[in-house]
Structure 1
Amino acid sequence: MRFVTYTTAGSVDRVGVLSGTEIHGLDPGVTLRGLLGDDGERLHRAGERALRDPREVLVLDDVRLRAPLPDPPTVRDFMTFERHVEGTALLAGVATGIPPRWYAAPTFYFTNPYAVLGPHDDVPVPPGSELFDFELEVAAVVGLGGRDIAASDAERHIVGYCLLNDWSARDLQFDEMSVKLGPAKGKDTSLTLGPVLVTADELLPHRSGTAYDLGMSAAVNGVVVGTDRWDSMHFSYAEMIEYASRGTEVRPGDVLGSGTCGGGCLAESWGRAGWAAHPSLQPGDTVTVSVDMLGTLTSRVVAYGDRRDDQGVSCQGSELV
């Protein structure tokens, strides 16, 4: 199933199931996060009920999509694509390649759950940044919480997946990480999720290696700047959950980002071909990221003071494939 969180003019957020171009709404007051807490059974029951007896049926073009999960308790962002690590290592001047430590465990950092944007929202350039970038990722959403989860049991804790664009102020990021801490301000202004949460069972026919045999693509102003395959991840989501839950908890609604795919950001271009390879993002630029089966996010970059909030007029939309 494909779940969305949506709103119409003057209304509060609603949750629905996408069927073709129609949204079948659940009861008012139901949230996606509130349907989590088990291995997905509650969510599927709610979705089946909405398809059978919806509280409202709306056309996709008549609503404003929010992030499927606007309020995740935490967002952990990993770094699991080898080609991305190699390219950004070159940017950092590490000619010797990928650090051996990277292969030992799926490293992550906590990013800002308050910075989550939806697929219709403008993306502001963070204050003080002149080297703005995007990052194409796929996020897993935890449905069933737990502690010290073994990788062999971890996949039943994942309820579904959605696109994630981790916007990055590279100049701020590089400066703060020079003191061996961060990233923090380089990452915490915007994080786009959406357009839909696709339940894990929908993707099973495409299962391959560490992930799924599905294409990934990123473009700036309509020009493709990078492509990859989702199953080129070095670490699996099960390994990510095992590492994240070691000695602590993951909870329902937690978001685990895959990290940037190969070719999924401008920083790789800069690392491989120099700073002239591509301009950094500027107000007015449009970034489009896509993953087969999960859809497309198209976001307009704006100056920090020009961003409209998520109840304002949509400047860019989303596409579902």
Structure 2
Amino acid sequence: MKLVTFIEAQGPARPAVLLADDRLFDIAAATARDGAPLPDMLAVIAAGKAGLARIARLMETADHADFRALADVRLLAPLPRPTQIRDCGNYERHVAQAIAAAMQLRASATPDPAATLEKFRAAGLFEIPPVWFEQPLYYKGNPMTVVGPDAEVVRPRSAKLMDYELELAVVIGGPAKDLSPENALDAVFGYTIFNDFSARDIQSRETQFRFGPAKGKDFDTGNAIGPCILTADEVHDPEALTMIARVNGEEKVRTVSGGGQHSIAATIAYISRDETLHPGDLIAMGTVADGCGYESLTFLSDGDVVELEVEGIGVLRNKLVAPA
């Protein structure tokens, strides 16, 4: 199933199934009449496989009132408030190129950039730390800053170097703890697209403290998710999905979701070690190689439209706008 969250001119946001004919099956309305309402996407996720089977049965007997035309509603992020956001860095070429870009930005702010770069190289600052090869690494994002497809992303006032990031994310069904790589994918409810818009100039300055990103990532509208959650049963191999990024219609990269230093299953298993993963947790696997502008030091301008596409999930489209 392709699961979305939608809103009409009046009423609350509600979960739905996106059908091939551009109709929506209103899960909230149908389950309320059935006696056990699933009013939002977190409730749908928590209901698990049994809940999906129930939704499928309800669709078979639904009347016209349970359907909506996609053109008559507005899609929000399919999971408007993830329980938690964790974002990994799993693709070696992206990490290496991003480190090099960060060093160049830092050096450019000094009186002699070339000499500063040489000092950085001599100090080993261009090298990927050994720990990255040994275990998955991630930061935690702000689940209160999530927007969905076709939403505007507002540039932070002081940011000059804005960027997009092409990422596949898993939505946890859970609760699950101490998973192994062999059973970790059983905890996945579905997959979606994640774009953590980033203010690279702010991020580059902050991470000199080696404490992870802060205001370079944390700003309202900064985390875009969507357009749907594709349930896990629809994904044969999450490591083999075609992924594409476009800016203003120009294709920037076409790649696949696999090839990370740590597999999707191994990443989930590691994060679950000694820590319960809950329904609605979102874990992004990291930016794919060449999946952002940072790696080539090319950045977004106000008004640019970013489209991220992942096979089976669809297109997540967002426009960067200046602050009011």
Give the RMSD, CA atoms, in angstroms. Answer: 1.7
1:212 maps to what in 2? Answer: 239
1:151 maps to what in 2? Answer: 181
1:170 maps to what in 2? Answer: 200
Aligned match of 1:42 in 34, 41, 51? 51
- The aligned runs of 1:192-211 (5 Å cut-off) are 192-204=224-236, 207=237, 211=238
Question: Aligned partners of 2:57, 2:197: CA distance in 1, in Å?
Answer: 35
Tell whether 2:218 aligns with 1:191: no
Structure (1 or 2) with the larger CA radius of gyration: 2
Question: Aligned partners of 1:48, 1:268: CA distance in 2, in Å?
Answer: 47
Query: Are 1:74 and 1:113, in contact at CA under 8 Å, matched by a contact in 2?
Result: yes
Question: Aligned partners of 1:116, 1:51: CA distance in 2, in Å?
Answer: 33
- The aligned runs of 1:123-162 (5 Å cut-off) are 123-162=153-192
Deviations 1:217-264 (A, max 9, x none): 111111112221112223222212211121222111000001101111
Tell whether 2:131 aligns with 1:101: yes
The aligned amino acid for 2:173 is G
Question: Aligned partners of 1:46, 1:150: CA distance in 2, in Å?
Answer: 30
Aligned match of 1:33 in 20, 42, 45? 42
Change (3 A) 1:22 1:135: same
Deviations 1:20-53 (A, max 9, x none): 1111111346211112236533234224423542
2:311 maps to what in 1? Answer: 292
The aligned amino acid for 1:77 is D
Query: Are 1:37 and 1:144, in contact at CA under 8 Å, matched by a contact in 2?
Result: yes
Change (3 A) 1:168 1:44: farther
The aligned amino acid for 2:322 is A
Query: Are 1:39 and 1:156, in contact at CA under 8 Å, matched by a contact in 2?
Result: no
Structure 1: state its 5+ residue gaps: 271-277, 306-321
Count of residues in correspondence between the two structures: 292
2:88 maps to what in 1? Answer: 78
Deviations 1:244-293 (A, max 9, x none): 121222111000001101111001112xxxxxxx3x21211111111111
Question: Aligned partners of 2:211, 2:129: CA distance in 1, in Å?
Answer: 17
Question: Aligned partners of 2:283, 2:213: CA distance in 1, in Å?
Answer: 16
Query: Are 1:288 and 1:298, in contact at CA under 8 Å, matched by a contact in 2?
Result: yes
The aligned amino acid for 1:26 is I
Question: Aligned partners of 1:143, 1:243: CA distance in 2, in Å?
Answer: 16
1:2 maps to what in 2? Answer: 2
* Secondary structure, aligned partner of 2:233: helix
Question: Aligned partners of 2:50, 2:261: CA distance in 1, in Å?
Answer: 30
Question: Aligned partners of 1:250, 1:139: CA distance in 2, in Å?
Answer: 14
Aligned match of 2:274 in 234, 247, 268? 247
The aligned amino acid for 1:286 is V
1:275 maps to what in 2? Answer: none
Query: Are 2:6 and 2:13, in contact at CA under 8 Å, matched by a contact in 1?
Result: yes
1:267 maps to what in 2? Answer: 294
Change (3 A) 1:48 1:16: farther
Moved more, 64-73 or 220-229: 220-229
Any runs of at least 4 consecutive aligned residues in structure 1 with deviations exceeding 6 A, and if so which? none
Moved more, 231-240 or 186-195: 231-240
Structure whose residues are more often helix by fraction = 2
Question: Aligned partners of 2:133, 2:5: CA distance in 1, in Å?
Answer: 37
Question: Aligned partners of 1:16, 1:199: CA distance in 2, in Å?
Answer: 13
The aligned amino acid for 1:124 is V
Deviations 1:127-147 (A, max 9, x none): 311111010101100001122
Query: Are 2:28 and 2:40, in contact at CA under 8 Å, matched by a contact in 1?
Result: no
Query: Are 1:68 and 1:196, in contact at CA under 8 Å, matched by a contact in 2?
Result: yes
Note the C-alpha offset of 1:150.
2.0
Aligned match of 2:250 in 209, 223, 240? 223
| Percent of residue pairs bearing the same amino acid type | 35
| TM-score (ref. length: structure 2) | 0.85
Query: Are 1:227 and 1:262, in contact at CA under 8 Å, matched by a contact in 2?
Result: no
| TM-score (ref. length: structure 1) | 0.86
Query: Are 2:246 and 2:307, in contact at CA under 8 Å, matched by a contact in 1?
Result: yes
Query: Are 1:147 and 1:248, in contact at CA under 8 Å, matched by a contact in 2?
Result: yes
Question: Aligned partners of 2:130, 2:46: CA distance in 1, in Å?
Answer: 37
Question: Aligned partners of 1:299, 1:72: CA distance in 2, in Å?
Answer: 19
Note the C-alpha offset of 1:73.
1.2
